[in-house]
Chains A and B, each alone.
Chain A
Amino acid sequence: MGLVTIWSCLVGLAIILYVVLDGFSLGVALLFPTSRDEEERDLLMGSIAPVWDANQTWIVFGGGALFVAFPMVYGILFSGLYIPLLTFIFGLIFRGVAFEFRANATRKGPWNKAFFYGSLTAVMAQGLILGGVISGIKVAGDRFAGGSLDWLNPFSVTVGIALISGYLLLGSTYLIVKTSGPVQDRAYRQAIWSGFVVLGFQILVTFWTPLHYPSVLTHWFSSPTIYFIWTFPTLGLIAFYGLIRSLRARREILPFFFTVVLFFAGYLGLAASLYPYALPPSITFQEAVAQHETLRFTLWGGIIVLPLVLAYTVYSYIVFSGKVGKEKYYH
């Protein structure tokens, strides 16, 4: 396997880890308005308080990995999608400070709002970024050559709303794992309806993507893509079936597992549709790649460090495993 392939997988891995891990944190925040009182909100926040920061770090790594491996993509994407990217950051700021500020506040209302709207903004912005990338980025030479609002269109807004439903599903299935009693009961109901909404959006986006971006269609039906592209929607449907069944059977871990599989199916399907383009319709990973010395040096660092990171991440999940209880998630 070449360095280009390894690094595109590594960037892809960082992004999907971020999507799943911070996805459930953001999803829990999106469910905030459905909780009845401050005690329930303490519980919701307590379920992610010890881990959200580590989860969020994956996007910082994703950005860093992109900067290392595909600097041209990093430069063009970030300057081209200036507005949704910084909107994403603004959302993350409010979401992040809400944890400590709310814990210290007597009147929690404003920080409940900051937590919810910050997360909502961050999720919507992520969707707009993704939609903007699929819509195509205008490039001249190695610079962004489009307009500041190129990313804004019905397709990208739809992707944003679809992502909200996806994170609601992740958040509610995560809460099934972490809570019990009435909060868990509600999470089961929320998981069921958000699951159906997600399915609807996945079907919609799957059919809309090739219409919006015609070369995807030719890509799907040409060799070798045609031989495996059908596996992703199939995997998605299986995951959806498993999700609904496990929710009906009131299983606790399985719904979250199937949701993650559902996300992987969608993500891999999308990646397969766009590959080898890093920035459709013009820049491939191969064209945007950094100097090989840089790739090799940083890869060695990653090979040594990332397994350790994964190990202590797992450790911290083990430390905080089990239902969130009455213990104080503030100090």
Chain B
Amino acid sequence: MDALFLSRIQFATTTMFHILFPALTIGLSLYLVVVEFLWLQTGEEIYYRLYRFWVRIFAINFGVGVVSGIVLEFEFGTNFSQFSQAVSNTFSPLLAFEVMTAFFLESGFLGIMLFGWERVHRRVHFTATCLVSFGAILSAFWILAANSWMQTPAGYRLVDGKFMVTDFGAAIFNPSALVRMAHMTIASFETSVFVVAGISSYYLLQGRHVLLFRRSLGIGLVMAALFVPLQIYMGDVSGRHVFRDQPAKLAAIEAHWETNTRGGASFAVIALPDMEAEKNRFEISIPGGLSLLVTHSFDGRVSGLKEFPRGDRPNVFLLFWAFRAMVGIGFGLLIIMTWALLLWRKGRLYESRPFLRTLLIIHPLGFLAVELGWITTEAGRQPWLVYNLMRTAEGVSPIPAGNVVWSLSLFIIIFLVVGGSYFYYILKTLRLGPDVSSPIPPIQRPAGMRPLQEKEDRR
């Protein structure tokens, strides 16, 4: 094993660990904005209690997100220094802007959000929540701009192997940037509201704090009803962008080997792709389906993998299945939302135990979909680091493999310890449940506050 292979494994390990946390930070911060807005608007204590409960989960999650994120900025230099030096002029400002506009904002107002209850007025507190949430979304904007630039580079001129910048606007808003930003941001929202819904269902199933968690679930499901269909739409837009900008990636995702010359390209629902034999060992496909999906016409031409040299193809098996699992989750969540709609019309949304149990069981699926999506897009970029321009092998640092063996093993151990403790403390927080009795700091109490009265929720 060489430094290149190990560095790739390490980057994959560290990003895949990291992304779980910001995905929840971005979505949960938006949920908190909604809850605190309702608290200020209605003065109902229930919203205050809800906020205080969810912000504890948010805080634990944020801490791990921050420390696992610093790793990534350093890894560009430690493990991919040749890449860093080649693309820096165009690429690095996007990261610098992320720090300046997003990280400072999040970290600057997080203190007030978590600890400012007795020190600032409730409107200031709400502003802090909004700014933390805005910072989280902005950070996704910049990092997606940077990643998209690697997928669909723009605004540069190649001089002696270095990407000299010609147009920063074009580099930031490169062809795939906006679509991928939207896709990822909505993914975070969707993942988080299902976490909220699942955990709320857990309490409802146990009959604990029923009033509080009915409200919590209600807000979560309303938000989910917005994000779930929107994400399926964004997925479609995203797929057509990949078709336009990265045809080899699309062909690999679809295990599509031969370019269709007559009639439409068929869509393989299930397949066993064989990269050696350049065909699918087995497949169940819908005739004309692929052309319809990516070109929106029955006989649109879709380039097959055989049009690209063997050395320029990503891993077909991995992409094919990762993509299908992600899409499967997206549609699975749509089915659950349809179920929710039917129950809601019958007025049984909060009573149906099978439904609540389902929400509890499926609540981590969003995270899985996020990981699968990133596997699809990043493994699909291979063998390129900058698409069609710089190979991954050209970007690695001149370091011995031993360095990376050392750091990768430490990362794995540390992530197991930190990830394990994270679960332990999240579960502990959930076991303890919300605090519904601590006095509300006077400075936070709006005029005409409506207290939480139900006996069942005071226990």
Contact digits for B174-195, partner A, Cβ 8 Å, 1 yes 0 no: 0000000000000000000000
The answer to the question of B456 belonging to the interface, with a C-beta cut-off of 8 Å to chain A, is no
Instruction: Please indicate the chain A residues that have their CB under 8 angstroms from the CB of B63 in the complex.
Output: 96-97, 99-101
The answer to the question of A83 belonging to the interface, with a C-beta cut-off of 8 Å to chain B, is yes
The answer to the question of A148 belonging to the interface, with a C-beta cut-off of 8 Å to chain B, is yes
CB of B105, distance to nearest CB on chain A (Å): 8
| Whole-angstrom CA separation of A327 from B399 in the bound complex | 49
Query: Chain A, interface size: which category?
Result: 35 or more
CB of A79, distance to nearest CB on chain B (Å): 4
Q: Are A50 and B115 in contact (CB under 8 A)?
A: yes
Stretch at the interface among B37-45, B74-82, B377-385: B74-82
The answer to the question of A158 belonging to the interface, with a C-beta cut-off of 8 Å to chain B, is no
Q: Are A319 and B68 in contact (CB under 8 A)?
A: no
- Given known contacts A49-B111, A301-B97, A316-B112, A57 and B104 CB-to-CB distance under 8 angstroms: yes
Stretch at the interface among A187-195, A225-233, A292-300: A292-300
The answer to the question of B325 belonging to the interface, with a C-beta cut-off of 8 Å to chain A, is no
Contact of A142 among B78, B85, B407 (CB under 8 A): B85
| Whole-angstrom CA separation of A69 from B443 in the bound complex | 46
Contact of A93 among B79, B92, B418 (CB under 8 A): B418
Q: Are B115 and A75 in contact (CB under 8 A)?
A: no
The SS class assigned to the A binding surface is helix
Closest to B68 in A: A93
| Whole-angstrom CA separation of A36 from B339 in the bound complex | 57
Instruction: Please indicate the chain A residues that have their CB under 8 angstroms from the CB of B89 in the complex.
Output: 71, 290-291, 293-294
Instruction: Please indicate the chain B residues that have their CB under 8 angstroms from the CB of A65 in the complex.
Output: 96
CB of B146, distance to nearest CB on chain A (Å): 11
The residue in B62, B89, B100 that gathers the most chain A C-beta atoms within 10 A of its C-beta is: B100
The SS class assigned to the B binding surface is helix
Q: Are B96 and A301 in contact (CB under 8 A)?
A: yes
Per the 8 Å Cβ criterion, residues 59-99 of B in contact with A are: 59-60, 62-64, 66-68, 70-71, 73-74, 76-79, 81-82, 84-85, 88-90, 92-93, 95-99
CB of B142, distance to nearest CB on chain A (Å): 11
Q: Are B100 and A302 in contact (CB under 8 A)?
A: yes
Contact of A104 among B108, B109, B418, B428 (CB under 8 A): B428
The answer to the question of B2 belonging to the interface, with a C-beta cut-off of 8 Å to chain A, is no
Q: Are A105 and B108 in contact (CB under 8 A)?
A: no
Q: Are B74 and A329 in contact (CB under 8 A)?
A: no
Q: Are B77 and A79 in contact (CB under 8 A)?
A: yes
Q: Are B100 and A79 in contact (CB under 8 A)?
A: no
- Given known contacts A49-B111, A57-B99, A61-B104, A71 and B414 CB-to-CB distance under 8 angstroms: no
The interface on chain B, measured as residues whose beta carbon lies within 8 A of the other chain's beta carbons, has a size of: 69
Instruction: Please indicate the chain A residues that have their CB under 8 angstroms from the CB of B440 in the complex.
Output: none
Contact of A71 among B70, B92, B108 (CB under 8 A): B92
Q: Are A309 and B108 in contact (CB under 8 A)?
A: yes
The residue in A63, A89, A316 that gathers the most chain B C-beta atoms within 10 A of its C-beta is: A89
Q: Are B164 and A291 in contact (CB under 8 A)?
A: yes
Q: Are A78 and B78 in contact (CB under 8 A)?
A: yes
Instruction: Please indicate the chain A residues that have their CB under 8 angstroms from the CB of B429 in the complex.
Output: 104
- Given known contacts A54-B111, A60-B103, A104-B429, A96 and B165 CB-to-CB distance under 8 angstroms: no
Q: Are B67 and A331 in contact (CB under 8 A)?
A: no
Per the 8 Å Cβ criterion, residues 48-85 of A in contact with B are: 49-51, 53-54, 56-57, 59-61, 63-65, 67-68, 71-72, 74-79, 82-83, 85
Closest to A331 in B: B56
Closest to A315 in B: B108
CB of B80, distance to nearest CB on chain A (Å): 9
Q: Are A101 and B425 in contact (CB under 8 A)?
A: yes
The answer to the question of B116 belonging to the interface, with a C-beta cut-off of 8 Å to chain A, is yes
- Given known contacts A104-B425, A145-B398, A309-B108, A301 and B100 CB-to-CB distance under 8 angstroms: yes
| Whole-angstrom CA separation of A82 from B396 in the bound complex | 13
Q: Are A316 and B115 in contact (CB under 8 A)?
A: no
CB of A120, distance to nearest CB on chain B (Å): 16
The answer to the question of B397 belonging to the interface, with a C-beta cut-off of 8 Å to chain A, is yes
The answer to the question of A221 belonging to the interface, with a C-beta cut-off of 8 Å to chain B, is no
Q: Are B92 and A64 in contact (CB under 8 A)?
A: yes
Instruction: Please indicate the chain B residues that have their CB under 8 angstroms from the CB of A60 in the complex.
Output: 70, 73, 99, 103
- Given known contacts A57-B103, A68-B88, A68-B96, A312 and B109 CB-to-CB distance under 8 angstroms: yes
Q: Are A67 and B428 in contact (CB under 8 A)?
A: no
Instruction: Please indicate the chain A residues that have their CB under 8 angstroms from the CB of B110 in the complex.
Output: 53-54
The residue in A61, A100, A290, A313 that gathers the most chain B C-beta atoms within 10 A of its C-beta is: A100
Task: Give me 6 A-to-B residue pairs in the complex whose CB atoms sit less than 8 angstroms apart, sorted by A's number.
Answer: A63-B74, A74-B77, A86-B407, A93-B67, A291-B165, A319-B116
- 6 A-B pairs besides A94-B414, A144-B398, A302-B100 with CB distance below 8 A are A67-B96, A75-B88, A76-B81, A78-B84, A82-B397, A309-B100
Residues of B within 8 A of A (CB): 52, 55-56, 59-60, 62-64, 66-68, 70-71, 73-74, 76-79, 81-82, 84-85, 88-90, 92-93, 95-101, 103-105, 107-112, 114-116, 118-120, 164-165, 168, 397-400, 402-403, 406-407, 410, 414, 418, 421-422, 425, 428-429
